[in-house]
């Protein structure tokens, strides 16, 4: 008898695939610089005013099951944030609180996809979108970001693809946009968002916009929320406290369905039903998340500091990577990821997997391979650690590429020094 369901084979997380090996190396005394996980509190502690609010909630006995779709205090805080930042007028029913955007993705895919249905993603995509679609028996229609144009969306290509796909079996149910983008750091311009909304409207596709990095924007870019351009058509905005509010471990996210059209009303009602299935999310964390958003004075200070620091770290990493002739990289202007491209014609690695395994095992740097994001010629760097750590790690990457230049390997192995000598403390 087959114990596991067939669909369970799609459950995986490529960002964490080297985690066991990294822990093994660390337990052997090796220093590993972890550039694989976008977890800001390791480098930017959760602000004290948020921690205090969490402790207060616990002391005040807010440890009961909350309302399934979220406590009123938190919904009001979300409504206030979207009014302040994007001029959106939301009601309580428009907001569904989830255990992070991650849970929102589970709800959305289960709610919208029957086997054979399709979702439009743009490659490279956030790795975690894929297993959720596959588990539902859904299929991905892949639009493209193009590296040659500085990771711009290929919207003409998308229109051509949708025309073709429209004639095939299986309905396209939703289009997922990630803005600011993980893993390229691209921030979409208002013009592009408007065109995306028009395309989705024309094809009757629900727009889902993951805006979890909406305040982490720099290098002169300006962020526009899909909530500002998709008014009057069905769309779902995803966000949470993980990144902007440095609270990944709280597991608090939210979905917003602002529309009053027929489809939007059906969507928000059904999403609230999904919330009922798991009773509620962490109650004290909801009160802390409400304070995180309501205390604009403290948040203003925190976000200003982290955006300045992150842009410094990202830009430094770009500069260091550009010293490596085997790698090309586009400078991000949002989030904190970089997705450099490897020139395999000049390197002796057979795949991105071999590249990241060598980086971890021999050079002490933990990266994520590009295949997980749909780009097997690339790898992803999380540019959150301090500049000195990034400096060390990227020097290691650059050294590795030099030592693995085609024809260089034999010579390099002979001259390589012990690699851990100059490593900063493990993180
Ligand atoms: C684009 C994107 N969406 C969602 C998530 C997960 O968010 P959450 O912590 O709210 O589940 C991440 C985490 O890295 C992300 O990069």
CATH class of 61-295: alpha beta
Q: Give the C-alpha separation, 285 to 246, whole Å.
A: 13
- Give the bridge partners for 141, in sequence order: 120
pLDDT confidence of residue 167: 67
pLDDT confidence of residue 261: 94
What's the CA-to-centroid distance between 227 and ligand 1, angstroms? 19
pLDDT confidence of residue 191: 96
Pick the atom of ligand 1 nearest to 100's CA: 10
For 116-173, what is each residue's pLDDT tens digit? 999 999 999 999 999 999 999 999 998 999 999 999 999 999 999 998 876 676 799 9
The residue nearest atom 16 of ligand 1, judged by CA position, is 182
For 324-353, what is each residue's pLDDT tens digit? 999 999 999 999 999 999 999 999 999 999
Mean pLDDT value of segment 284-310: 98
From the CB of 101, is ligand 1 less than 6 Å away?
yes
Structure tokens at 125: 């995509």
What's the CA-to-centroid distance between 212 and ligand 1, angstroms? 7
pLDDT confidence of residue 361: 96
From the CB of 100, is ligand 1 less than 6 Å away?
yes
From the CB of 41, is ligand 1 less than 6 Å away?
no
- Give the bridge partners for 209, in sequence order: 177, 237
Of 243, 256, 282, the residue with max ligand 1 atoms within 8 A of its CB, to mutate for a pocket test, comes to 243
Q: Give the C-alpha separation, 283 to 63, whole Å.
A: 6
pLDDT bracket for residue 418 (50, 70, 90):
very low
Quote the radius of gyration of the chain (alpha carbons, Å): 22
The residue nearest atom 13 of ligand 1, judged by CA position, is 38
pLDDT confidence of residue 43: 97
From the CB of 242, is ligand 1 less than 6 Å away?
yes
Is the pLDDT at 369 greater than 60, yes or no? yes
Query: What is the residue-averaged pLDDT of the chain?
Result: 93
Q: What angle do CA 301, 258, 247 make, to 5 degrees?
A: 35
Tell me the pairing of strands 95-98 and 253-256. antiparallel
From the CB of 36, is ligand 1 less than 6 Å away?
no
From the CB of 143, is ligand 1 less than 6 Å away?
no
The residue nearest atom 14 of ligand 1, judged by CA position, is 38
Name residues whose C-beta falls within 8 Å of residue 148's C-beta, 6 or more positions apart in sequence.
none
What's the CA-to-centroid distance between 325 and ligand 1, angstroms? 32
Is the pLDDT at 363 greater than 50, yes or no? yes
Domain ranges for the chain:
6-45+299-415, 61-295
Query: Which run of H or of E encompasses 368?
Result: strand 368-369
For 71-110, what is each residue's pLDDT tens digit? 999 999 999 999 999 999 999 999 999 999 999 999 999 9
CATH class of 6-45+299-415: alpha beta
Pick the atom of ligand 1 nearest to 178's CA: 1
Structure tokens at 419: 């690699």
Q: Give the C-alpha separation, 135 to 58, whole Å.
A: 37
The most distant pair of C-alpha atoms in the chain lies apart, rounded to whole Å, by: 69
- Residues above pLDDT 70, as percent of the chain: 94
Better-predicted residue by pLDDT, 11 or 292: 292
CA 88 to chain CA mean position, Å? 24
Is the pLDDT at 310 greater than 70, yes or no? yes
pLDDT confidence of residue 15: 77
From the CB of 210, is ligand 1 less than 6 Å away?
yes
From the CB of 282, is ligand 1 less than 6 Å away?
no
pLDDT confidence of residue 63: 98
């Amino acid at each position: 008898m087959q114990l596991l369901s067939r669909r369970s084979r799609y459950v995986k997380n490529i960002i964490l695939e080297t985690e066991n090996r990294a822990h093994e190396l660390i337990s052997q005394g090796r220093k590993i610089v972890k550039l694989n996980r976008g977890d800001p509190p390791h480098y930017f502690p959760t602000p004290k005013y948020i921690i205090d609010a969490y402790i207060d909630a616990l002391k005040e006995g807010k440890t009961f099951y909350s309302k399934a779709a979220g406590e009123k205090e938190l919904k009001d805080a979300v409504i206030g944030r979207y009014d302040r930042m994007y001029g959106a007028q939301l009601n309580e029913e428009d907001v569904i609180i989830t255990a992070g955007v991650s849970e929102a993705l589970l709800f959305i895919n289960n709610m919208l996809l029957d086997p054979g249905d399709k979702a439009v993603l743009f490659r490279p995509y956030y790795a975690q979108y894929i297993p959720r679609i596959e588990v539902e028996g859904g299929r991905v229609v892949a639009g493209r970001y193009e590296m040659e144009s500085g990771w711009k969306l290929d919207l003409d290509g998308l229109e051509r693809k949708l025309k073709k796909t429209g004639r095939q079996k299986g309905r396209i149910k939703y289009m997922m946009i990630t803005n600011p983008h993980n893993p390229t750091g691209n921030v979409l311009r208002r013009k592009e968002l408007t065109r995306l909304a028009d395309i989705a409207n024309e094809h009757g596709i629900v727009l889902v916009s993951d805006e979890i990095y909406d305040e982490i924007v720099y290098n002169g870019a300006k962020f526009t929320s899909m909530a500002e351009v998709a008014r009057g058509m069905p769309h779902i905005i995803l966000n949470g406290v993980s990144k902007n509010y440095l609270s990944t471990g709280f597991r608090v996210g939210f979905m917003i369905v602002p529309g009053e059209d027929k489809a939007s009303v059906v969507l928000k009602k059904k999403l609230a039903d999904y919330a009922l299935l798991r009773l509620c999310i962490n109650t004290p964390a909801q009160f802390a998340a409400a304070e995180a958003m309501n205390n604009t004075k403290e948040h203003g200070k925190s976000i200003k500091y982290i955006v300045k620091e992150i842009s410094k770290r990202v830009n430094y990493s770009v500069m260091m990577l550009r010293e490596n002739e085997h790698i090309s990289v586009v400078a991000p202007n949002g989030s904190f990821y970089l997705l450099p491209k490897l020139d395999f014609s000049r390197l002796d690695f057979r795949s991105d997997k071999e590249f990241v395994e060598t980086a971890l095992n021999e050079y002490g740097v933990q990266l994520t391979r590009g295949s997980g994001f749909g780009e097997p010629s690339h790898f992803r760097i999380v540019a959150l650690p301090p500049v000195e750590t990034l400096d060390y790690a990227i020097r290691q990457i650059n050294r590795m590429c030099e030592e693995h230049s085609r024809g260089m390997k034999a010579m390099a192995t002979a001259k390589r020094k012990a690699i851990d000598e100059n490593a900063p403390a493990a993180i």
